[in-house]
Amino acid sequence: MGATGSARTNLRRPLLSLPLAVALSLHPIASTGAFGPHDRMAPGGGEPLAPEGVSTYEGPPIVVRVLRVEDLDGDLDSYADTGETANLFFSVSNKTTTGYTAVVATMFPLDPKITCVTPSIAVGMLPAGADVTVAVPIQFKVHAFAERGGAVVTCTAGTCSNLVVRDGVHGATVPCAAAADCTRTPDQTYAGRIGISLTSAELAPLGPVLDVSIELDLNVAQPVAATSEFAEGFEPGFGSFTFMNLDSARATNALSDGYRCQHTDPDYVGSNSFGDTECYLGFASGQNPINDWHLHGTTSVDGGRAFQGSTSLHYGRHTPGDPGLDTTSLSQLDAMRTKSPINLAARICAADPAPTPRACNAAADCVAVGGGPCVAASPVLSLKHQVSTMDSRFDYMGEGQFAADRAVIQARALPGGEWQNLPAYENVPDMEGTNYYSNCMFDPVDDGNTEDTWFADTLPHRPSGPSSTCRSSRVFSCLGDTDEPFMAGNIGRASDGPGLAGSVGTGTWVESRFDLSRFRGRSIQVRFIFTSIKVFDVSTLEATFMLNPDAVDDGWYVDDVRLTGALGTASPTATVDEGAPPPQVDADLDGVDDACDNCPGLANRTQDDRDRDGAGDLCDADLDGDGLETPADCDPDDGRFWTLPGAARDLRVEAILPGSGALFTWQAPVDLGGTEVWYDLLRSADPALFDTCPVDASGVDDYDLVDTITSEYGEPLQGQVLSFIVRAQNSCGDNVGTRSDGTPRTAVECP
C-alpha cells in the first residue's frame, strides 16, 4: 500500500515509527513466502506449491567429467606426483535445452598444489543435451613442495611445507605443531583443484565455476588380471550393504554437537537457530526404528517396487494398508553402506576389447590382450533410483529450488579416509539444501567437517561452510517419479533422463552415474545417506503436516547398483610416492617453475592471485581487480567492494499483516560501494537509542538481508511506539544515514 508511518523520507535518514495499534506476531511459519529468512517450519504450515509432473531441472547448466589423468614426466604411472607435469582429459556435458557455439574453457588453480595450468581451450560446439569429449587435455604441473608424506614434509613456524592448510573453527586455520599434522596417508584426501569456467558466443559465463579435484602423489601396485563389475540388486536381501546409524543416541544438544549445518548451530549467535534447545538428532522419547532404510518387496504395502527383480532398497516409512500415507522421518541422519571393500583398478589396458579390460602396471602387461598402452582407469558408479523428499515443491524455502530433506551418495578410501560426495555427470543432484528456516538441519561429521567449519569468507551473521548436505552442496530431492504409473517423460528434476520402467510397481526410474576416478587404485566403501529437518520433536512429515497423499515425502528408492573397474577380492596397494621430482628452473626457490611463476622475482609459494589476472598478489598493485589500487580500496581483498555503501532509502510499511506483523520495503542506496550490499532492520522504542543500542531497548529483527523487503514480528507494549531503521552494509562497513543535525548515525551492533 506504500503508506509511511511518518513523513521521514529524507534519503539519508530512512526512519519509520509504528503506532501501538499495530499488533505484531512473534511466531512466523513458512507458509506463503511473505516472511524473510529464519522462518520456522511448524506443524500445520505449508501446502503444495507445484503439482506433480511440472518440476524441471534447475541445476548446473554445464557439468564436467574427469576422464583420466596421465603424467608426462617423472615415473609415468598415471598419477600426478610432486613436480610432475600431467594431462587431464575431460568431457563437457550440456544439461540445458539450448545449444552453444564457440565454447571456450578457461582454467585456473583453485589450490596452491596445482601450478602452470593451461589457460584456455577451445571446446567448440556444445549442442543441447550433448556430452562432448574435449580433444585437447588440460595440462598442469604439481607444485614442487606438494608432498603427500615422507621425511621431506616439515612444520615450520606453524606452516606445513607441503601446502596443507588445516581448517579450524569459524573460518580460521589451525597452525601445525609437528610434521605429523601435515602428512597425509594414501587413504586420506590430498588433492589439487582446478577451476573451469566456460563461455560461449551466446552466453558468458555458462554457469558457475566448475571445481575439479585430482588426488596427488600416489604410487599403486595392483594384480594383473581382468577387472570386473560390482553389482547389487537387493535380491533377496541387503546383500553387499549394511546399516550406518549416524543419529543413534544423540537426542540432546550436547550429543548432537558438530552434526548440524553451519547456519543452524544453536551455540552461535549469528545462526538461524541460536538458542534453540531442541537442536538434536532423533527424539527425546527415542526412535523406533533407529534407521528407516529397508527392503521394499512384494510384501510391502504398495505391492512392491523394483527396477529389476522384485526388491529395491527404500528410505521411508509406511502405514499398513495405505500406501498413500508413505512418509519420511524428521530429525534423521541415516545411511546404508557397502559391507566389504570394493577394490578399484588403478590402470587398465587401453586396447583390451573385453568389456572388463585387464588391469595393468605397465604396457608389458597388455601384450596378451592386444598390446597398446597401460592408462589410467576411469571407474564409474551407476544406480537406478526414484527420489521425492521435502523441498520447494511443498513450501517456500527461498528464491529458487531448495530442499529441507536431502539425499547424497558418497565414497571413502579405506581404511580411514573421509567420506566425500561423489561427482555425478548424468542425472546429477538437482537441488541445494535450504538455509531459509530456523529449524535445525543435520550433516555428518565423518566427512572432515562440522557445524564449526566455515568458509573463510562467510558472512559473520549467515555462516556457511564445507559440508555433505547443507547449503551450497548439491543433493538429490526430486528425480524420477514415485506415485504415478510409468511415463518416460515424468522424470522430475532429472538433468538427463530418460525415464525408465521398473519390473515391479509404480513410478518412473532414472539412472545416475558418478565419476570415481579420484579413488582409482584404492579400496573404497560407498554409502547412501539421507538427512531431514527437525520440526520440534515431531517424528514424521505426515504427523507434522498431514500432507498425504502428496508424493513429496515418499522418500528414496534405490536399485541396480553397479560399479565398473573393480578387482574383485584382489586389492591394490597404494603408497605415498617418494621419488625425486623432475628438475625445474626456479630462481626464487618458491617451488614454482619460472616459466609460469606469477611473481618470478619474489618467492610466493602459494601463488596467490585474487583477481586471477596472472600477476601474483605480491606483484599486483590492484589485488582484487576492481580498478582501485590497494591504498584507495577499503577492501583490497575482494573485488565486490571498494567503498562504504550509501544509506538505504525510503523505508516504508507496505502492508499490515493482521496477526502476523508488518511488511517493510526500502530502496537500495544510490551508491552501493561495490557490486553487493546487505541490510539489517533495526528496531528501537526510542530513536535516540539507535546510537547506543542497549540490550533492553533495541534489537536486530533481521540479519544480512540481500533483498529490500522483510517482515517485523516484535509486539509493541500498550502505548508504545516502535521505530525502525535500515542499516546498509558491505565488507567495508555500514551506513545508517544521518541524524537531523546532519551528523552520521552510528547504530552500533545490537545483540
Q: Of 547, 478, 635, which Cα lies nearest the Cα of 57?
A: 478
Residue 749's pLDDT is what? Answer: 46
Per-residue pLDDT, averaged over 190-205, amounts to 95
Q: Class of the 62-149+184-207+209-221 domain?
A: mainly beta
32-36, 545-549, 574-578, 625-629: least confident range: 32-36
Report the C-alpha gap between 233 and 216 in whole angstroms: 34
Report the C-alpha gap between 580 and 321 in whole angstroms: 68
Residue 651's pLDDT is what? Answer: 86
In percent, the amount of the chain with pLDDT more than 70 equals 86
Per-residue pLDDT, averaged over 33-57, amounts to 50
Host H or E run for residue 541: helix 541-545
Q: Same CATH topology for 62-149+184-207+209-221 and 226-344+379-566? A: no
Per the structure block, which three cell numbers stand in for 474? 548439491
Bridge partners, 216 (sequence order)? 80
Per the structure block, which three cell numbers stand in for 603? 618467492
- pLDDT beyond 90 at 705: no
- Per-residue pLDDT tens for 516-556? 999 999 999 999 999 999 999 999 999 888 888 888 899 99
- Per-residue pLDDT tens for 230-261? 999 999 899 999 999 999 999 999 999 999 99
Residue 698: pLDDT band (50, 70, 90) is: very low
Average pLDDT of the chain is 85
Residue 688: pLDDT band (50, 70, 90) is: low
Per-residue pLDDT, averaged over 636-652, amounts to 84
Residue 44's pLDDT is what? Answer: 56
Judge whether 578 and 150 are in contact, CB under 8 Å: yes
| 3-class secondary-structure state, position 691 | helix
Per-residue pLDDT, averaged over 347-367, amounts to 96
Residue 271's pLDDT is what? Answer: 87
- pLDDT beyond 50 at 99: yes
Residue 713's pLDDT is what? Answer: 56
- pLDDT beyond 70 at 53: no
Report the C-alpha gap between 176 and 49 in whole angstroms: 50
CATH of 15-30+643-735, one of 2.40.170.20, 3.40.50.300, 3.30.360.10, 2.60.40.10: 2.60.40.10
Residue 31: pLDDT band (50, 70, 90) is: very low
Host H or E run for residue 425: strand 424-426
Residue 689: pLDDT band (50, 70, 90) is: low
- pLDDT beyond 60 at 358: yes
Domain residue limits, the chain: 15-30+643-735, 62-149+184-207+209-221, 226-344+379-566
Q: Of 331, 343, 60, 334, which Cα lies nearest the Cα of 210?
A: 60
Per-residue pLDDT, averaged over 267-288, amounts to 91
Residue 735: pLDDT band (50, 70, 90) is: confident
Report the C-alpha gap between 73 and 80 in whole angstroms: 9
Cα dihedral 304, 307, 309, 315 in deg (nearest 10): -50
- Per-residue pLDDT tens for 568-606? 998 999 999 998 899 999 999 989 999 999 999 899 898
Phi, psi of 737 (to 5 degrees): 75, -155
Site of grid cell 499483516: 657
Report the C-alpha gap between 50 and 593 in whole angstroms: 55
Residue 572 one-letter amino acid: P
Domain 226-344+379-566 has CATH 3.40.1190.20: no
- pLDDT beyond 50 at 13: no
- Per-residue pLDDT tens for 416-455? 999 999 999 999 999 999 988 899 999 999 999 999 988 7
Residue 37's pLDDT is what? Answer: 40
Q: Of 266, 243, 269, which Cα lies nearest the Cα of 256?
A: 266
Per-residue pLDDT, averaged over 156-185, amounts to 90
Residue 659: pLDDT band (50, 70, 90) is: low
Per-residue pLDDT, averaged over 704-732, amounts to 73
Report the C-alpha gap between 82 and 143 in whole angstroms: 6
Report the C-alpha gap between 40 and 441 in whole angstroms: 12
Report the C-alpha gap between 394 and 398 in whole angstroms: 12
Neighbour count for residue 461 (Cβ, 10 Å): 18
- Per-residue pLDDT tens for 105-146? 999 999 999 999 999 999 999 999 999 999 999 999 999 999
Per-residue pLDDT, averaged over 33-55, amounts to 47
- Per-residue pLDDT tens for 463-478? 788 999 998 899 999 9
Residue 640's pLDDT is what? Answer: 82
Per the structure block, which three cell numbers stand in for 62? 554445464
Judge whether 454 and 460 are in contact, CB under 8 Å: no
Residue 11: pLDDT band (50, 70, 90) is: very low
- Per-residue pLDDT tens for 287-338? 889 999 999 999 998 899 999 999 999 999 998 878 788 999 999 999 999 9
Per-residue pLDDT, averaged over 21-33, amounts to 24
